[in-house]
Amino acid sequence: SNDAKANIGVVGMAVMGSNLARNLASREGNTVAIYNRSPEKTHEVAKNHPEANFVASDTIDEFVASLAKPRTAIIMVQAGAGTDAVIEQLKERFEPGDIIVDGGNANFHDTIAREAKIAPTGIHFVGAGISGGEEGALKGPSIMPGGTAESYKTLGPILASIAAVAEGEACVTHVGTDGAGHFVKMIHNGIEYADMELIGEAYDLLRNVAGYTPAQISGLFATWNEGPLNSYLIEITIDILKHVDAETGKPFVDIVTDQAGSKGTGVWTVQTALDLGVPVGGVAEAVFGRAVSSKRAQRDAVRALGIERPTAPRVDDSFVDDVAKALYASKIVAYAQGFDAIIAGAEKYGWNIDKGAVAKIWRGGCIIRAQFLNVLADAYAENPNLNTLLEAPYFAQAIRDGEDAWRRVVITATQAAVPVPGFATALSYFDSLNVDRLPAALVQGQRDFFGAHTYKRVDKPGTFHTLWSGDR
Ligand code: ATR
C-alpha cells in the first residue's frame, strides 16, 4: 500500500496515458500515480520507465489512496463507455474538492452532461482537450481545460508544467466552465481539417496544373514555410512530399491510396456549427472532401462515363505565388470561421472565452501550431470584439493583397478540372460578406410565396406578406 504521496494521477496506460504520465513525472515537483484496468500494462510502464519513479497501483482503491489531497486524476482511457466507467469508479472514492480530469477526446455535450452530474457531489469534473498526439503528450501538448475556475487553481500549475511552451508561455489556459475546453479542442480539430484540405489543394494545383514533381513541390513549400504560411502542417508536408517509397522508388505520395479517413472531430465541428448557425464552409468542405475521396464506386462510375478532362491551361512561374496567396487567404477565412464558431458556442453555452488566449495556446504543441497564431492573438488583443477576423487590419491587408491571385487560382483550377472545394468555398464566403445585396432577398420572396413566412422591407419598418395568388 502507498501513503498518499502523488500530487497527480493518471488512469489509463495506453499510449496517450503513459506518455502523459511520463511527461508529468519528468517535471520538477510532480510525483505521479498510475493505474490501468489491466495491471500488466501498469507494471510494464513502471518497469520500462524507472526514471519516472511512478507510484503504481493494481487496484483503483490503492490508486486513490496514493493521491495527496486535493486528489487530482487525469483519465486517459477509451472515450465513451471507458471514460464513464472510470469516472464512476473515481466518483465513488473521491471527496468534495477532489478533481477528476477527462483528458480524452470527448464530445463537449458529454462533458457538459458529466460535469452537471458530478457537480452536486462537490467533486470537480474537468474536460480537458489535449492536442499534439502521442509526441505532444510526451514532450508538451497544447492543453485546453474547462471546468470550474477553482479546480484550475490546483490543476493549472500541474498542466502548465507539462504543456508546450511558445515564446516563453505555457500552452494552457482555463478556457471556460464545463465543456468549454473540449469545445475549443473540437474547433481546433475542425480548423486542422480545413488547413490540411487547403494544403492538399495547393499541392494538387502545383502538381496537376503547373506540372511540378512532388520533390519540387516540397522545395516550393519549404520556401513558403519561411513566410507567413509557416506552420507545423506545412513542415510535415515538406517531409512527406520529398519522401520516396523504399520498395518502389516512387514518390511516397503516389503509392498511398487516395481515400482519406477521419475519426469524427471534424464532423462534430460541422454538426455543431450547423446547430449554432455559423458558416464553417472550410471545415465542411474538408470533411466532405475526405468523404468524396472514400466513395470508390461513385468515382469509378463517373470516370467510366469517359467524359474527357480538359487540358490544363498553361501557367507561368507566377502561378506558384498565386497559389501561395490563395492558400493564405483561404486559411485566414478558415480561422475566421473557426473563431466565429467559438464566439457563438461561448454565447450559447455561457462561456467567457478569451479568443486571444486560445490563439496563444495553439502556438505550440498542437497540430495547427503556426507563427500565424501570434498575429491572430494580437488581433484579438487589440480588439476583442471583432465582428470577424477579416476586419483586423493585418488580415484585411492580406486579403487585399491576395484577392486577385485567389480568383485567378479558382478560375484556373476550374478550367483545369482540378477540384478546389476549400479555396472556392473560402472565396465565395468572402464574396458573400463583401457584396451589397445577396440573393437571400429572392429566397425570402420564395418563402413568403409558398409558406407565408413574411418578409421585411428595405424602405420601411414592419413585417409584410404579399397575397401571391393574383400572381399565378
Ligand atoms: P489508445 O488508442 O491510446 O490505444 P484507447 O483505445 O483510447 O487508447 O484506450 C485504451 C485504454 O482505455 C486502455 O488503457 C484500456 O484499459 P485496458 O488496458 O485494461 O484495456 C482503457 N479502457 C477501455 N475501456 C475501459 C473500461 N471500461 N474501464 C477502464 N479502462 C478502460
Buried b (16+ CB within 10 A) or exposed e, 58-83: eebeebbbbbeebbbbbbbbebeebb
Strand order in the sheet with 32-35: 55-56, 32-35, 8-11, 72-75, 99-102, 124-131, 142-145
Mean pLDDT of 88-94: 98
pTM: 0.96
**If you take atom 11 of ligand 1, which residue's CA is the nearest one?**
77
Mean pLDDT of 276-292: 97
pLDDT of residue 260: 87
Cis status of the peptide bond prior to 120, with omega within 30 of 0 = no
**Residue 433 near ligand 1, beta carbon < 6 Å:** no
The string of pLDDT tens digits covering residues 17-67 is 999 999 999 999 999 999 999 999 999 999 999 999 999 999 999 999 999
**Residue 60 near ligand 1, beta carbon < 6 Å:** no
Short-list 129, 136, 125, 132, CA closest to 107? 129
- 200 pLDDT above the threshold of 60: yes
Out of 37, 38, 59, 87, give the residue to mutate to test ligand 1, the one with the largest number of ligand atoms within 8 Å of its CB.
Answer: 37
- 350 pLDDT above the threshold of 80: yes
3-class DSSP state of 57: coil
Angle at 161 (CA atoms; ends 160, 166), nearest 5 degrees = 60
Q: Which residue has the cell 520498395?
A: 247
Q: How far is the CA of 327 from the centre of ligand 1 (A)?
A: 39
**Ligand 1 atom with least separation from CA of 16:** 3
Q: Which of 4-8, 253-257, 358-362, 439-443 has the lowest mean pLDDT?
A: 4-8
CA atoms within a 13 Å half-sphere pointing along the CA-CB vector of 430: 27
- 1 pLDDT above the threshold of 50: no
**ipTM of the complex in this document:** 0.95
Q: How far is the CA of 78 from the centre of ligand 1 (A)?
A: 5
- 305 pLDDT above the threshold of 60: yes
The pLDDT confidence band at residue 312, using thresholds 50, 70 and 90, is: confident
**Residue 68 near ligand 1, beta carbon < 6 Å:** no
> Out of 115, 192, 197, 201, which one is annotated catalytic?
192
Q: Is residue 201 flagged as an active site residue?
A: no
**Residue 103 near ligand 1, beta carbon < 6 Å:** no
Amino acid of residue 172: V
pLDDT of residue 4: 66
**Residue 25 near ligand 1, beta carbon < 6 Å:** no
- 363 pLDDT above the threshold of 90: yes
- 126 pLDDT above the threshold of 90: yes
Mean pLDDT of 202-211: 98
DSSP 290-313: HHHHT-HHHHHHHHTT-PPPPPPP
The pLDDT confidence band at residue 184, using thresholds 50, 70 and 90, is: very high
- 96 pLDDT above the threshold of 50: yes
The string of pLDDT tens digits covering residues 263-283 is 789 999 999 999 999 999 999
Short-list 399, 390, 398, 426, CA closest to 410? 426
Short-list 145, 11, 142, 6, CA closest to 75? 11
Report the C-alpha gap between 99 and 126 in whole angstroms: 7
Torsion angle defined by CA atoms of residues 326, 328, 334 and 335, in that order, rounded to the nearest 10 degrees: -160
Mean pLDDT of the chain: 96
Cell of residue 172, nine digits: 494552457
- 83 pLDDT above the threshold of 50: yes
